[in-house]
Amino acid sequence: MTVLERPAVAEVSGPIRTRVRPWRNPWRKPYVLAAITWVYILWSLVPVLVAIQFSFNDGRSRSTWQGFSRQWYCCNEGSVFEDPSMFHSLRNSLILGIATVIVATPLGVALAMGLTRWRSRASAVANGISLVPLVTPEIVVGSALYLVVVNLYQFVPLGRPAMLLGHVTFTVSYVLVIVRSRLLSIGGEYEEAARDLGANSLQAIRTILLPLLMPAVFASAMIVFATSLDDFVVSQFLFGSAENETVPILLYNAVRAAPTPALNALASILLVGSFLALILAYVALRARHRGDDESALETLADWG
Amino acid sequence: MPDPGPSQGSGHDRATRRLWPALALPGTLWLVALFVVPFYAVMAIAFSGRINIFNEPLPAWNPLDWESSTFTTVITDSFTPSGAYHEVWVRTAIYSFWALVICVAIGYPVAYYTARLAGKRRGLILALILAPWWINYITRMLAWVNLLQDDGYVNKALGLFGIPPHSWLSGSSFTVVWALAYGYVPYFIIPLFASLDRIDQRLLEASRDLGVGGVRTFLHITLPLSRMGLITALVITALPMAGDYYTNTIVSGSPNTNMVGNQIELFLLEGPQKNIGAGLVLLLSLVLMFFMFYYLVLTQRASREATR
């Protein structure tokens, strides 16, 4: 980004300078906008930080600070790791997230390669279908999957299998978008060169294309994991019974009851999980941008 | 094995031609089976004319068996002022509208500052703005429930100014609208940021060099050039907001703030009348379909321009 060059004020002669009223000066510092931005950032993050703070509260209150303690995380009665339903939800979320990555990533990468390199009318249709999940409200995806699993795919039980199908369905489009943007920027020349040198198509993919795509593949796998971990709506329509609760479902059901700080501790653990996945995605992207932190962030932003 | 024989020529090309469709096939089949077919299932339930002994609708898989009576009732009950679902639709529209107004009022300045004026701190601000994306939505709502409790920090802070404590969490539309805005504003800021970031700085400098003031530069250059980003941001934010049911369950819990999403969840997961639930899903999709396709057309056009 180009930095605004401020004219050296000293060069402007006296009479002109006095005519420039401060609010007409286009080069003045944007104090108001800066203030709005920082207030927004505080507003968006401080409540969450306070919630994390209360996960360390030395007492049952979630609104009055009573000193520091780790008791809601581990080893006390009612802590995350001692409460069976909380511990189970954590396990369920992790298993579901990993399974979703294992299924959605290869499916999405193959789809991206196929749709990007294969040009025909059929591929345009498939392309359209594959983008629709990105803009469909989750409640529509969730209720449609619920109705189809209950009425047509009765061999898929509600619970982990149904949730896996649901999570893969809405994450596959993320993989597609991320990997395809990388594919478009690589272009077809490397594969052509490989084929000219005698590799067949599969070899060209394996030895040339996949290594080049690796950072994007890894980043999309991490984003799939974080998205699956955070999903609430689709899981809620498909989880079936209490033993399949994921962390967001448990948080949702418990928040209006009389929760203890253990609930905040559980939320904090979930937060750490998705942030770890994201940091890994970011590192992979930074490698691709040769250490340029900002454009890696902007790539993450562009996928929004 | 690499065999650079000349005989490979045309067979090789044919294999390549088949390879790409073959790679696209599993993903496409998956999306057909688990996205297109489920949506058909919604229609099969919404237009179902038969019920089983539990009063649950039996799906009508054959379009020839479709009966529109339930769906017609859903439509009448949604759009006539005395209808049973009229109130939740109106509420959904009003809540989404005000939440979007707040999103624009907060999101535009933040996106503008970050994209154009943040200078050295740009990377940091961008990271901080992206952070809420990856904090679980339910967690972010839970954080506000902590703060807004009767003895929570918000009431304590108001107490410092002598304002008596307010019960925020028992059916207040004000709380729900602000919670929606809080929940979705990060999704609004990022696409807008991306579009403001793409505006050529030289255009703004030229405008100023020609003596145009900051406000007019904004109105005549920045705003028109960010129109696409603004529309994208509004659509991306409005779509999930219109189908939201969890936000108001968490911060209000009162039927007086129910939105369409609550009604759908109620019919599908807690009652036997799944055909009414499916009818509402269908109706919501039809209303949102317009926005979805508008958005898809816009992004397709943008990506075509980008690759040109």
Residues of A in contact with B307 (CB under 8 A): 184
For the cut 70, the answer to whether the pLDDT of residue B43 exceeds it is: yes
Q: Compare B246 and B69 and report the one with higher pLDDT.
A: B246
Testing the interface with A: which of B139, B185, B190 to mutate, by most A Cβ within 10 A?
A: B139
The alpha-helical segments, DSSP class H, found in chain B are: 9-31, 37-46, 69-79, 86-112, 122-130, 137-148, 153-160, 173-197, 201-209, 214-217, 223-225, 227-242, 246-251, 260-265, 274-307
List the single residue in A117, A138, A252 with the smallest CB-CB distance to B243. Answer: A138
Q: Quick one: pLDDT band at residue B1, thresholds 50, 70, 90? A: very low
Mean pLDDT of chain A: 81
Q: Determine, for residues A255 and B288 on separate chains, whether the beta-carbon distance falls below 8 Å.
A: no
Closest chain B C-alpha to A277 CA, distance in angstroms: 10
Query: What pLDDT, in 10s, does the model give residues A258-302?
Result: 678 888 899 999 999 888 888 888 888 776 655 455 566 666 555
Rounded mean pLDDT of B224-228? 83
Tens of pLDDT, residue by residue over A22-62, are 555 556 678 888 899 999 999 999 999 988 988 888 888 77
- The pair of three-digit structure tokens given for residue B221, joined into one six-digit string: 């250059």
Is some CB atom of chain B closer than 8 A to the CB atom of A199? yes
**In the predicted model, is pLDDT for residue A10 greater than 50?**
no
Give pTM, 2 decimals: 0.84
- Per-residue confidence at B9, pLDDT binned at 50, 70, 90? very low
Digit-coded pLDDT (tens) for B149-167: 888 888 888 888 888 888 8
Rounded average pLDDT over B100-127: 89
A274/B134 touch (CB, cutoff 8 Å), yes or no: yes
Query: Higher model confidence: residue A292 or residue A170?
Result: A170
State yes or no: pLDDT of A2 exceeds 50: no
Alpha carbon of B126: minimum distance to chain A alpha carbons (Å): 7
Mean pLDDT across B261-287: 88
- Test A114 with B34 for CB contact under 8 angstroms: no
User: What is the C-alpha separation between B199 and B194, in angstroms, rounded?
Assistant: 9
pLDDT digits (tens, 9 = 90+) for B81-91: 888 888 899 99
For residue A189 the two structure tokens come to 């020349």
Structure letter (DSSP) for residue B114? I
- Report CA torsion sign: A273, A275, A276, A280: positive
Please indicate if any CB of chain B lies within 8 Å of the CB of A252: yes
Do the Cβ atoms of A92 and A104 come closer than 8 Å? no
What local confidence, expressed as pLDDT, does residue A292 receive? 54
Q: Is any Cβ of chain B less than 8 angstroms from the Cβ of A45? A: yes
Query: What pLDDT is stored for residue B185 in this prediction?
Result: 93
- Cβ separation A37–B109 shorter than 8 A: yes
- In chain B, residues with a C-beta closer than 8 Å to the C-beta of A111 are 23-24, 26-28
**Residues of chain A contacting B194 with CB distance shorter than 8 Å:** 298, 301-302, 304
Of B23, B125, B250, the CB nearest to A110: B23
Which band of pLDDT confidence, cut at 50, 70 and 90, is reported for residue A101? very high
Burial class (CB in 10 A: 0-12, 13-18, 19+), A23: exposed
Of the candidates B166, B248, B262, B277, the residue with the CA atom closest to the CA atom of residue A150: B277
> Under an 8 A CB cutoff, do A110 and B295 touch?
no
Amino acid at B203: L
Sign of the C-alpha dihedral computed for residues A271, A274, A280 and A285 taken in this order? negative
- Tell me the per-residue pLDDT of B195-207, one tens digit each, with 9 for 90 and over: 888 888 888 888 8
